[in-house]
Amino acid sequence: MAHARTSRTRRVVAFLAAACCVLVADQATKAWVRSALELGGERKVLLPGVMDLLWVENTGAAFSIGEGAGGVFVVIALAVFAVLLALVLRERTMPVWLAALLGTVAGGGVGNMVDRLVKGSVTDFLATSFIDFPVFNVADIFVTCGIVIVFVAFLRMDDEEDDADGGADADATTGEASQAGEKS
């Protein structure tokens, strides 16, 4: 029982530490952008041919969907945080690295939620220059990449479980066959 508690504690600490790191990085970069750039001003090259800086305020969600529904997004962010934390608490076999990864997703959601609560909009500033893509921020990167990596990790974990189950089934079948051969 003590081992389960230690494991749970490690998962929760990893989750909360990752969420806090992402939140701090997100809020620090947004504060810097608001102090160094002009809202809606001209683009500043960050990585030539790849990424520019352009400060915009987004009152919607991804790709400006749902403009003006900030309260709904705050509730969604709180719900997602609660669900992810509950998952980390409940899943006894969850590796600590996966709990930390879920924490990055939660931290990104909280970062954008803080903007909505404090300013009524989300500060976006990363603009791709090689394709026409919506402007985004550090929180968006962690939410999007975190979800993709978690999805891939779950697929791989599922494949590993299937392989392990298949091996156990094959051993059981082989064992049954050899027992039947011994009886004849």
Phi, psi dihedrals of residue 62, rounded to the nearest 5°: -55, 135
Residue pair 138/53 in contact (Cβ under 8 Å)? The answer is no
Could you give the percent of the chain with pLDDT greater than 90? Answer: 62
- For the chain, the structural domain boundaries read 2-183
List Cα–Cα distances, 156 to 71, 84, 88, in angstroms: 36, 20, 19
Give me the mean pLDDT over the 133-158 stretch: 92
Give me the mean pLDDT over the 111-139 stretch: 94
Task: Convert the pLDDT of each residue in 38-54 to its tens digit.
Answer: 998 899 999 999 999 99
Transcribe 100-125 into DSSP letters: HHHHHHHHHHHHHHHHHHHHSSEEEE
The pTM of the full predicted model, rounded to 2 decimals, is 0.79
Give me the mean pLDDT over the 62-74 stretch: 67
User: How many C-beta atoms lie closer than 10 Å to residue 106's C-beta?
Assistant: 28
Hey, which residues are catalytic here? 124, 140
